[in-house]
Amino acid sequence: MATQINGLHHITAVSGPPELNYDFYTRKLGLRFVKKTINFDDPFTYHLYYGNYEATPGSAITFFPWQGVPQGSPSTGEATVTSYAVPKGSFDFWRDRFKRHKMDLISEESRFGEHLILFKDVEGMKNELVETVVSDSVRPHNTEDIPENAAIRGFYGTTLSLADTGRTAELLREFGWKEKAAEGDVVRYTSEPENQLGTTVDLKYEPGMRGRFGRGSIHHIAFRVPDDKAQEEWRKKLTEMGFGPTEVRDRQYFRSIYFREPGGVLFEIATDTPGFTKDEPLESLGQELKLPPWFEKNRTEIEKRLPEL
Ligand code: ZN
C-alpha cells in the first residue's frame, strides 16, 4: 500500500512580466516572496515562489514568467482556478481592499455552503478566496496593511475543468481522497486532515473549452508526500497503473515526479523535504537569486539575461 497523499504541495502557472506578477502576489494579496530562482529546465527564465510565512507545503503558488508568451485562456483538461484559504469574517476587509486597489473582483458566490470571492490576477488567471477554518499552526505572512485575522493562510484547493470527472475521481480515491459532496457540475474531493492547507479539489464538468495555453494558465498542480520513500512507492504504483510517471527530478527544495492524469491535467507528486530553507534561512527567504549547484557556474550569464526584479 502506498502512503496516502494528503493535500496539495504547490501550484505552478505562467505569468507575464515578473515585476507585475511580484506586485500582485506580494503587495496586493499579501503573500510572502519565498524563493527567487530559475526554471531548472529553462535557466534564463525566473521561477518565482510565493507562500505563507514558513512557505509550508500547501501554500506555494509559483510562476514561470515566460517572455513573449501570448495571453492564455482556459481549456478543458486544465486546472482553472486556484483557491486560497482566509479566516472566517475576513471578507469585509477583502471587499474593501479589492475596491481600493482596483483588483478585478468577478463575483461573490456560495459553493458547498461556503462563501467565496472569485477574482482575477494581473494576467486574468482565476483565483478565489474562501472563508474557512485553518489550523492555528499555519503562520500567515505579516504585512503592514493586511491584519493577521484576514491574511491568506495558503491554499484552500483548486478546480479542475474536465470533460469526464469520473476517471480523475477514481485516481483521487487511489490517493486516499474522498468524495465530500456534489453540487451542479462540481464534485468535491477532500483529503485529511481537513483543517490543513490544500485539501480540496473540485472536479468541474466543463467540456468543450478550447482556450490557449499562455499567460494566466496553470501549468501543473503538485500533490505532497512526506519523503522520497513515499514518492518512490507512488512512482511504482503509477507505473503499474499505466500513467508512465517521469523519473525523479531534483527541484532543490523538493523532489518531483510528473504524469498526466486521465482528464489531461499535468500532476506532480512532490516531497515535503528538504523544503525552502535548504539554501537560505527562514527569516530571509526570497531575498537573493538562488541557483541550484549545477547552475552556479553560469551565474554571471544567468543574472545578466534575467530581467531586473
Ligand atoms: Zn511543480
Res 60 pLDDT > 80: yes
Say how many Å lie between the CA of residue 12 and the centre of ligand 1.
6
Cell of 239: 507505473
Domain-located, residue 87: yes
Res 68 pLDDT > 90: no
pLDDT, average across residues 95-105: 95
The pLDDT-based confidence of 2 (bands split at 50, 70, 90) is confident
Say how many Å lie between the CA of residue 35 and the centre of ligand 1.
13
Say how many Å lie between the CA of residue 97 and the centre of ligand 1.
30
The pLDDT-based confidence of 67 (bands split at 50, 70, 90) is confident
Those residues whose C-beta lies under 8 Å from the C-beta of residue 113, and which sit 6 or more positions away, are none
pLDDT, average across residues 201-206: 98
Res 277 pLDDT > 80: yes
pLDDT, average across residues 170-186: 97
pTM beyond 0.85: the answer is: yes
The pLDDT-based confidence of 207 (bands split at 50, 70, 90) is very high
Say how many Å lie between the CA of residue 100 and the centre of ligand 1.
33
Domain-located, residue 253: yes
Domain count, the chain: 1
Say how many Å lie between the CA of residue 98 and the centre of ligand 1.
29
CA-CA distance, 273 to 31, in Å (whole number)?
22
The pLDDT-based confidence of 14 (bands split at 50, 70, 90) is very high
Res 129 pLDDT > 90: yes
Say how many Å lie between the CA of residue 70 and the centre of ligand 1.
21
SS3 158: strand
pLDDT, average across residues 101-110: 95
Say how many Å lie between the CA of residue 63 and the centre of ligand 1.
10
Cell of 193: 486532515
Domain-located, residue 3: no
Say how many Å lie between the CA of residue 144 and the centre of ligand 1.
30
CA-CA distance, 52 to 58, in Å (whole number)?
9
Domain-located, residue 1: no
pLDDT, average across residues 16-30: 96
CATH of the domain at 65: 3.10.180.10
Say how many Å lie between the CA of residue 89 and the centre of ligand 1.
32
Say how many Å lie between the CA of residue 60 and the centre of ligand 1.
10
Domain-located, residue 57: yes
Which pLDDT score, from 0 to 100, does residue 85 have?
A: 97
Helix (H) / strand (E) containing 172 = helix 165-175
The domain in which residue 183 lies consists of 8-305
6 or 62, higher pLDDT: 62
The pLDDT-based confidence of 193 (bands split at 50, 70, 90) is confident
pLDDT, average across residues 236-246: 97
Say how many Å lie between the CA of residue 251 and the centre of ligand 1.
8
pLDDT, average across residues 261-281: 97
Domain-located, residue 152: yes
Res 1 pLDDT > 80: no
The pLDDT-based confidence of 106 (bands split at 50, 70, 90) is very high
Say how many Å lie between the CA of residue 268 and the centre of ligand 1.
6
Q: Which of 47-51, 64-68, 174-178, 205-209 has the lowest mean pLDDT?
A: 64-68
Say how many Å lie between the CA of residue 87 and the centre of ligand 1.
27
**Contact call for residues 257 and 248 (beta carbons, < 8 A):** yes
Say how many Å lie between the CA of residue 245 and the centre of ligand 1.
14
Residue (of 285, 304, 294) closest to 48 by Cα position = 285
Say how many Å lie between the CA of residue 65 and the centre of ligand 1.
14
Say how many Å lie between the CA of residue 145 and the centre of ligand 1.
30
Say how many Å lie between the CA of residue 184 and the centre of ligand 1.
30
Strands 266-271 and 218-225, how do they pair? parallel
The pLDDT-based confidence of 288 (bands split at 50, 70, 90) is very high
Chain centroid, CA 176 distance in Å: 20
Average pLDDT of the chain?
A: 96
Write out pLDDT tens, residues 298-307. Answer: 999 999 999 9
